[in-house]
Amino acid sequence: MSTAQNSSQPVYQEVIAAKGRWSRRIEKGQYLKIIDLEGQQAVDFLCYSAELPIDRLNIPNTVKLNKSLYVEKNHVIYSDLAKKMFTVVQDTCGLHDTLAGCCSNEIDYVRYGVVKTQSCRANFTAELAKWSMSTSDIVSNINWFMRVTVGAHGEVEIVPSTSKPGDHVLLRAEMPIIAVISNCPQEHNAAAGFKPTPIEVSVWDQE
């Protein structure tokens, strides 16, 4: 983690280990940058109004108002109250998923017959506790860098990501935000390339 000495440096920067978790308050007008350091790493993402946490990321509103199942450059992330939360100002990958949600120990047992103690749902639960929130505050999330295809008859499939080492998204906060990340620990499908890897997050006062 580092602190900036001038405006050309981030005010905060950290590498999040493979399978790790993270959260931070982002002020209105600040920028959150997420870098896929090695490629094909899903980054499960939630966000909440820092001033009214019950107003949180709303995937249906985000899909409807952007007229797209995917999140890309120039799209806006909307809340339950249809407030602007983030704007995607840079995106070197595109087609970020809104459909598949987060992995959980329970669903991985159903899907793969494996008993696990680490998942995005578990990561979210642990990180939200820092902000006096609980598992019940987990909603459908955005999966940065994760590729989910939709067939002609609505078939949904998690496929290998097109993200390359160093691909990133840069998000401008449109309100004070609590941002929460699970660096996806999934090893049984292509969400994290079958081998979870680190990511980098940083916060900037200017683009």
The confidence score (pLDDT) of residue 7 equals 58
Count other Cβ atoms within 10 Å, centred on residue 206: 9
Spatial contact of 36 and 167, defined as CB atoms under 8 Å apart: yes
pLDDT surpassing 90 at residue 111: yes
* 59-87 pLDDT, tens digit each: 999 999 999 999 999 999 999 999 999 99
Predicted confidence band at 52 (pLDDT cuts at 50, 70, 90)?
A: very high
Q: Cα separation of 175 and 38, whole Å?
A: 31
**Residues 69 and 98: beta-carbon distance below 8 Å:** yes
User: Which of 122, 96, 98 lies closest to 186 in space, CA to CA?
Assistant: 122
Q: Structural domain boundaries of the chain?
A: 23-204
Q: What is the dihedral of CA 97, 134, 203, 34, to 10 degrees?
A: -20
Closest CA to 161 of 39, 66, 56, 55: 39
pTM, rounded to two decimals: 0.94
Tokens 């007008």 sit on residue: 29
* Residue 86: CB atoms within 10 Å: 27
Could you report the per-residue pLDDT of 173-203, keeping only the tens digit for each?
999 999 999 999 999 999 999 999 999 999 9
